[in-house]
């Protein structure tokens, strides 16, 4: 059995959020649709394995994403930090007690995005 993961974000700011994740992680669109009231895109990390997918769905409803975080592992984290787009400002970089390093970011919707290296 093979498992994969997909997270869905519904937002009226679909294009902005899509562009942010594509710039930050180099995600590629693997599926897009626009059928009247049904519009969205599925992004995958650029490695082609599609084991972790991000769906961004267009809606008129504004959601509260407080408490939600999306976490991505990057090895080495320093290389990821060097490649950050100039307009994406980190909130913090912390060494965690369990031996991991966490880089804290916020996407355009205020969702906390954590990029880390080290222990799972």
pLDDT tens per residue, range 85-95: 999 999 999 99
Q: How confident is the model at residue 2 (pLDDT cuts 50, 70, 90)?
A: confident
Q: Is the CATH number of domain 1-63 3.90.1170.50?
A: no
pLDDT tens track for 20-58: 999 999 999 999 999 999 999 999 987 666 678 999 999
Average pLDDT value for the chain:
93
Closest CA to 4 of 57, 44, 58, 31: 44
Whether the CB-CB separation of 105 and 113 falls below 8 Å is answered with: yes
Specify the domain boundaries for CATH 3.10.180.10 within the chain.
1-63, 64-120
Give dist(CA 41, CA 57) in Å, integer. 7
**Per-residue tokens: 45:** 């990390």
User: Which CATH superfamily groups domain 64-120?
Assistant: 2,3-Dihydroxybiphenyl 1,2-Dioxygenase, domain 1 (3.10.180.10)
Q: What is the mean pLDDT of residues 67-93?
A: 95
């Amino acid at each position: 059995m093979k498992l994969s993961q997909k997270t869905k974000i519904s937002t009226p700011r679909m294009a902005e959020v899509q562009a942010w994740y594509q710039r930050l992680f180099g995600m590629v669109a693997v599926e897009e649709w626009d059928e009247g009231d049904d519009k969205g895109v599925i992004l995958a990390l650029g490695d082609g394995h599609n084991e972790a997918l991000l769906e961004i769905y267009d809606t008129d409803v504004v959601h509260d994403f407080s408490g939600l975080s999306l976490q991505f592992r990057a090895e080495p984290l320093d290389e990821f930090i060097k490649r950050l787009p100039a307009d994406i400002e980190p909130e913090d970089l912390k060494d965690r007690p369990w031996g991991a390093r966490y880089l804290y970011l916020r996407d355009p919707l205020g969702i906390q995005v954590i990029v880390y290296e080290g222990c799972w």
